[in-house]
A = this chain, B = another copy of it.
Amino acid sequence: MELPFVCPLDWRYGSEEMRRLFTLDAMVRRLVEVEKAIYLGLVEAGIAPRSCLEVVEKCFSVDPREVYELEKRIGHDVASLTYILGERCGECGNYVHLGATSYDVVDTAWALAIRDALAIIKERLRRVVKLLEDAARRYIDLVMVGRTHGQHALPITLGFKFANYVYELSRSYERLCCAEERVAKGKVSGAVGTMAGWMGRGLAVEAAVSRALGLPMHEISTQVAPRDGFAELVAALAILGSSLDRLALEVRELSRPEIHEVVEVHGGVGSSTMPHKMNPVIAERVSGLAKVLRGLVITALENVPLMHERDLTNSSSERILIPHALLVADQMLIDCERMLRSLRIDEDAIDRNLKLSRGWNMVECIMVKLVEKGVPRHEAHRHLAKLARELSGERSALEALSSDPLVSQKLSPEEIRWCLEPRNYLGNYRELVERALSYAERALSRC
């Protein structure tokens, strides 16, 4: 571990695997890879001599340090790289970067990096969805109280709750596929996008680069690839991050000691001064990092309206934006996986809480039954709301309903009791869970 770091993404957040895509070394290596593909394109197009291919294979190797040292002097990273490569390759060096512009290299390298980073992100997301699917199946029948406004609503099952996340995160997976289609595209078209430097043979150069890197190419471009794709990517990551934030918030809330239904359990020091505490710190980190992702969307959006055939204002901001967005999302997925693995389900607490409202949260069922018996819905609603307001503090729903003239006249004690049993009032939860799971299956095989 190195200590000159100022950014937690250098070491604290994000996987090594993801980080390796964005170190200075990796950035330079990728630029070299693209320069090499362009060189190959020049050869294929008959601009550079075929004999140079072999030479280039050897001389295209550079210590990133050299590049950055030279950049310090001349103020331009890609130009530095091409000088170094050019000088190193003898006569074949003459053709290095010929007809290309820096952003042919930079944008195509970003596309490669994003493609590889998305492979990691998608794999992790699949794992998270898989864990949620397992949980959805495992707890499909574990009845718990549903909560809206933080208040007790009708019952659901824990599996049903998880299945909702399966669905939502599958949608995020689709969205990443959509974004990838538009952003993981190379751009090899010269200084203003016309391919002028290749004297009419630009399409051949481009086709060779595309084949060499296995990367589709933008149909047209200015000096740079259109920035809407980057904005879409970051927005997709921020939406994913916000859905993970929802999952994390779920855990944080359910982990409260007064609720304690689904608890994040792990080792580690809880508090530097309160030794007893078991804080849901993984979930909290997810929620914390989601805020970073949301902010980055603004930066990405502002990069879309560049001037004319481009201005440079996307450059500095993207050097920060792209690695940060992907590393933060990476950490959040890692954390969600750990969090899901660490969850402990407290069935007693779930059961206790389910009974906390003493049946009052089941009153919708009574209302439905009353309507079946001919009571207008809005009257039933008003009547039961009044009852709840007046009596829910003192009596259980069963007591109150049983002694209510209207209700007891329309419904038998068995009907009332049936209604107040949560297990009877779960609707089509099983089919819905199934629908969510099969949607996920389709979604996750989409790209």
In the assembled complex, the Cα of A6 lies from the Cα of B26 at a distance in Å of 9
A78 close to chain B: CB less than 8 A: yes
Copies of the chain in the assembly: 4
Chain B: minimal CB distance from A146 (Å):
3
In the complex, the chain B residue whose C-beta lies closest to that of A378 is B86
In the complex, the chain B residue whose C-beta lies closest to that of A217 is B435
A82 close to chain B: CB less than 8 A: yes
Closest A-B pairs by Cβ, 10 of them = A7-B7, A75-B268, A146-B192, A242-B304, A275-B385, A276-B388, A196-B427, A86-B378, A288-B316, A149-B279
Within A188-204, which residues are at the interface with B (CB < 8 Å)?
Answer: 189-200, 202-203
**Would you give the 0/1 interface string for A266-289, flagging 1 where the beta carbon is closer than 8 Å to chain B?**
011111111111111100110111
Chain B: minimal CB distance from A5 (Å):
5
In the assembled complex, the Cα of A20 lies from the Cα of B356 at a distance in Å of 46
Of B160, B220, B270, which one neighbours A433 at CB under 8 angstroms? Answer: B220
In the complex, the chain B residue whose C-beta lies closest to that of A253 is B307
Q: Are A171 and B226 in contact (CB under 8 A)?
A: yes
Of B172, B194, B228, B427, which one neighbours A429 at CB under 8 angstroms? Answer: B194
Q: Are B150 and A96 in contact (CB under 8 A)?
A: no
What would 7 more interface pairs be, CB under 8 Å, given A79-B269, A146-B194, A235-B297? Answer: A12-B319, A151-B279, A164-B222, A190-B273, A196-B426, A276-B357, A287-B313
Q: Are A150 and B274 in contact (CB under 8 A)?
A: no
Of B197, B289, B363, B431, which one neighbours A316 at CB under 8 angstroms? Answer: B289
A377 close to chain B: CB less than 8 A: yes
Q: Are B275 and A367 in contact (CB under 8 A)?
A: yes
Task: List 5 A-B residue pairs with CB atoms under 8 Å apart, sorted by A's residue number.
Answer: A86-B377, A153-B191, A195-B428, A219-B435, A285-B313
Interface size class of A (residues with CB under 8 A): 35 or more
Chain B: minimal CB distance from A150 (Å):
5
A102 close to chain B: CB less than 8 A: yes
A353 contact set on B, CB distance < 8 A: 258
In the assembled complex, the Cα of A57 lies from the Cα of B122 at a distance in Å of 49
Within A292-317, which residues are at the interface with B (CB < 8 Å)?
Answer: 292, 294-299, 301-317
A271 contact set on B, CB distance < 8 A: 79, 101-102, 148, 153, 191
In the complex, the chain B residue whose C-beta lies closest to that of A255 is B150
Q: Are A65 and B375 in contact (CB under 8 A)?
A: no
Q: Are B228 and A232 in contact (CB under 8 A)?
A: no
A86 contact set on B, CB distance < 8 A: 376-379
A74 contact set on B, CB distance < 8 A: 268-269
Within A336-380, which residues are at the interface with B (CB < 8 Å)?
Answer: 353, 356-357, 360-361, 363-365, 367-368, 371, 374-379
In the complex, the chain B residue whose C-beta lies closest to that of A165 is B226
A68 contact set on B, CB distance < 8 A: 1
Of B8, B12, B242, B368, which one neighbours A99 at CB under 8 angstroms? Answer: B368
Of B9, B156, B175, B255, which one neighbours A320 at CB under 8 angstroms? Answer: B9
With A168-B226, A272-B101: A82-B377 Cβ-Cβ less than 8 Å: yes
With A191-B364, A377-B94: A297-B299 Cβ-Cβ less than 8 Å: no
Q: Are B97 and A273 in contact (CB under 8 A)?
A: yes
In the assembled complex, the Cα of A207 lies from the Cα of B170 at a distance in Å of 22
A83 close to chain B: CB less than 8 A: yes
A83 contact set on B, CB distance < 8 A: 378
Q: Are A3 and B65 in contact (CB under 8 A)?
A: yes
Chain B: minimal CB distance from A346 (Å):
11
Of B101, B167, B277, B298, which one neighbours A295 at CB under 8 angstroms? Answer: B298
**Would you give the 0/1 interface string for A10-42, flagging 1 where the beta carbon is closer than 8 Å to chain B?**
101110000100111100000000000000000
With A94-B376, A148-B311, A297-B297: A153-B223 Cβ-Cβ less than 8 Å: yes
With A271-B101, A276-B357: A24-B5 Cβ-Cβ less than 8 Å: yes
In the assembled complex, the Cα of A435 lies from the Cα of B75 at a distance in Å of 35
A297 contact set on B, CB distance < 8 A: 235, 295, 297-298, 301
